[in-house]
Amino acid sequence: MIRALLLLTILWTFTLLMLGAYVRLTDAGLGCPDWPGCYGQLTAPDEPHEITQAEQTFGGEVHAGKGSKEMLHRYVAAGLGVLVLVLALAMVLWRQRLDRLPIWLIVLPVLLIVFQALLGMWTVTLKLMPVVVTAHLLGGMSLLALLVAMAGRIATPLPAAFAEVRSACYLALLLLTGQIILGGWVSTNYAGLACSTSVFCQNELAGHSGIWEAFRPDRLLGQTADGASLSLAHLAAIQSLHRLGAMLVLLVIGRLIYVLHQRSSRLALPLAAALLLQIGLGISNVLFSLPLPLAVAHNGGAALLLAMIVFIAARLPVAKYTAISRLDATWVRSSL
């Protein structure tokens, strides 16, 4: 029962990540100017009298379609919150049967859900401030990683020989996390099409000073910290660093795949397929000018890569058990 509930929660989280990307990429993040409702209602206003009242109360033009997308995202997020809470309670009750599952791994997703709700509110009140929206994306990815880590912990551990994969696995996780942050920064600043003429955007960056303004966390959307408008070179700088990160991630995860393949092709080949898919999606987004389905799929590809590596890392043998196994093996050899 717990495994089924955990699987449902993981799939729900992945779906919510994709839905969040869809809302963000369709520019519906401010479809509702208030929180947690939409123009003071439980659903987005769509009737003529509701739209008229909303425009009089809140000012500006009401976009019913965008509001509906945003409210769907909020309701799905609320459902995930309920699922995570039920899962945590179930795991606490059954924890004596889940000896490899630490208590912090059960509690942390609940705390993260609360923080995600706050980030959702700040996303609206701070008008899509890039650092808040990026943090919201990272929070969703972190929640997925924690849930997948639970699944890995209650699954059958990998043999002791896989202990040597640990360093390659953790390095891949570190760089992939950094790349996800950069990808979020690209998306929240709408920099996906900032350059397409060269691999690292040299033409757009040539002769420009102060490009690191684009990475300051204390600025509003479309502005520098001083309130000036961001230039194309600022956006190209963000895109350029994301592309450089993609090269590093390709090398590091490629090395992890090689190390894994020496021990198990069943683990290495699916990870290789996911990596190639994500690289292909990234290139296709540039070649075809960021079509919505491919852009959403690119977010999903990052989540899939993260989940696969976390699952492998969570199944690695615990260090102390590995050390004991080596001591036992040494004692056996010396006895013989």
Q: Which positions are catalytic? A: 70
Look at residues 117, 116, 252, 129 and name the one whose alpha carbon lies nearest to residue 184.
Answer: 129
How does DSSP classify residue 62? Answer: -
Q: How far is CA 306 from CA 44, 94, 176, 216, 302, in A?
A: 34, 27, 7, 26, 6
Would you state the torsion angle of the CA atoms of residues 115, 122, 78, 70, taken in this order, to the nearest 10 degrees? -150
Write out the two tokens for 163: 């202990």
Contact predicate 272/257, CB 8 Å: yes
CA distance 98 to 153: 8
Long-range contacts of 85-89 (CB under 8 A, 24+ apart): 85/110, 85/113, 86/5, 87/2, 87/5, 87/6, 87/9
How many angstroms separate the CA atoms of 169 and 252, rounded? 9
DSSP SS3 for 98? coil
CB-CB contact of 301 with 275 (8 Å): no
Question: Amino acid identity of 95?
Answer: R
